Amino acid sequence: MESLTSRRKLVASKPLNFWERAYLPAILSGLRITGKHFFRKPVTISYPEVKREFSENFRGMHSLKRDEEGRERCTACGLCALSCPAEAITMIAAERQKGEEKLYREEKYAAVYEINMLRCIFCGLCEEACPKEAIYLDGDIVPSNYLRKDFIYGKDKLVEAPLNQ
């Protein structure tokens, strides 16, 4: 029969000869392989002291960005919450009052913005949906906690630190 792939191999189960049954040559070549490893450098990273660098496109904790003047970019349009497959994002919008122009970039802003980190699957669809470039998943691993309520992250944890004060 013609083979369907180029990787076809003929498998033969012939009985082992004497030296193969004595296992010695195979054992010696095995010892050679492991022996080489004895002189290699360990690849261990001693965790608490040394931390492994994440790759550049690692998706960690979310952060809500500010613009160049330090105003919150988010306009509470709700596209992130809509695009979220895990339905982890909830928000309550509010209207910007007079005197708050330095705080929020647009007339509408998120008074409450919450992400449930237990639901979030870190897919990154929220950052893709956002038309204002306000949300990015550029943080670290979400730290562990004892209480479920502490995994609901509000604006206190999500919004970037203000620019130079």
Partner 1 sequence: MELAFIGFVGQKFILVGIIFAISLVVAMYSTYAERKIAAFFQDRIGPNRAGPFGMLQPLADGMKMFMKEEIIPTHANAFLFIVGPSLAILTACIGSAVIPWGQQITIAGHVIDLQVTDINVGVLYIFGVVSLGVYGVMIGGWASNNKYSLLGAIRAASQNISYEIAMGLSIIALLMLTGTLSLKEIAEQQHGWHWNIIKQPLGFLIFIICAFAETNRTPFDLPECETELVGGYHTEYSSMKLGFYLFAEYINMFISSAVMATLYWGGYNYPGMDFMNNLLGPTWGPLLGFVILFGKILCFIFFFMWVRWTIPRFRYDQLMDLGWKILIPLAIANIVLTGVVSTVLRHFGY
- Tell me how far, at minimum, the Cβ of 41 lies from partner 1, in Å: 7
Q: Does the protein bind partner 1 through residue 12 (CB under 8 A)?
A: no
95 annotated to bind ligand: no
Residue 92 DSSP code: E
Report d(CA 60, CA 117) in Å as an integer.
11
Using CA of residue 10, residue 14, residue 17, residue 21, what is the dihedral sign? Answer: positive
Q: Using the minimum distance from each CB to partner 1, give the nearer residue, 8 or 51.
A: 51
Strand partners, 152: 116
Q: Choose the stretch contacting partner 1; rule: CB under 8 A; options: 2-10, 31-39, 76-84, 115-123.
A: 31-39
Contacts of 60 (CB under 8 A, 6+ apart): 54, 122, 137, 138, 139, 140, 141, 142
Q: Does the protein bind partner 1 through residue 51 (CB under 8 A)?
A: no
Q: Does the protein bind partner 1 through residue 42 (CB under 8 A)?
A: yes
138 annotated to bind ligand: no
Task: Indicate which single residue of 34, 55, 57, 144 sits in contact with partner 1 (rule: CB under 8 A).
Answer: 34
> Can you give the C-alpha Rg of the chain in angstroms?
28
Q: Does the protein bind partner 1 through residue 13 (CB under 8 A)?
A: no
81, amino acid identity? A
Q: Using the minimum distance from each CB to partner 1, give the nearer residue, 6 or 29.
A: 29
Task: Indicate which single residue of 14, 21, 98, 102 sits in contact with partner 1 (rule: CB under 8 A).
Answer: 21
- Footprint on residues 69-108 left by partner 1 (CB under 8 A): none
Q: Does the protein bind partner 1 through residue 44 (CB under 8 A)?
A: yes
Using CA of residue 145, residue 146, residue 151, residue 152, what is the dihedral sign? Answer: negative
Residue pair 40/89 in contact (Cβ under 8 Å)? The answer is no
Footprint of partner 1 on this chain (CB under 8 A)? 21-24, 27, 30-31, 33-35, 37-38, 40-44, 46
